């Protein structure tokens, strides 16, 4: 595995139906795949596990990750926090 992801990484999908979308890595599952959220299509109660070969790391943002950890933060707040990393239209 070339890419090592950690919780708090901001990643971009480069393959699949969610290509070019920006996600936050919230954890790593037991086989090493990142568990991701975008606050719009992938929300707190519908997290996605994605093959690391299909992701590119853009940054590491503890502030956005801490927003996810906060029980009072909404999915919309996470989505808005990830907007600054968007370069393409979805």
pTM of the model: 0.90
Q: What percent of the chain has pLDDT over 90?
A: 87
CATH architecture of the domain 9-85 equals Roll (2.30)
Q: Bridge partners of 56?
A: 12
Instruction: Return mean pLDDT, the chain.
Output: 92
Mean pLDDT of 4-8: 94
How confident is the model over 7-43, as pLDDT tens digits? 999 999 999 999 999 999 999 999 999 999 999 999 9
**pLDDT at site 88:** 57
């Amino acid at each position: 595995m070339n890419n090592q992801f950690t919780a708090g990484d901001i990643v971009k999908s480069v393959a699949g139906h969610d290509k070019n979308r920006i996600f936050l890595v919230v954890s790593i599952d037991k086989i090493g795949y990142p568990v991701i959220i975008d606050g719009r299509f992938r929300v707190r109660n519908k997290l996605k596990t994605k093959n690391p070969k299909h992701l590119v790391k853009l940054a590491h943002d503890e502030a956005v990750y801490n927003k996810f950890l906060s029980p009072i933060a909404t999915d919309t707040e996470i989505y808005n926090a990830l907007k600054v990393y968007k370069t393409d239209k979805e």
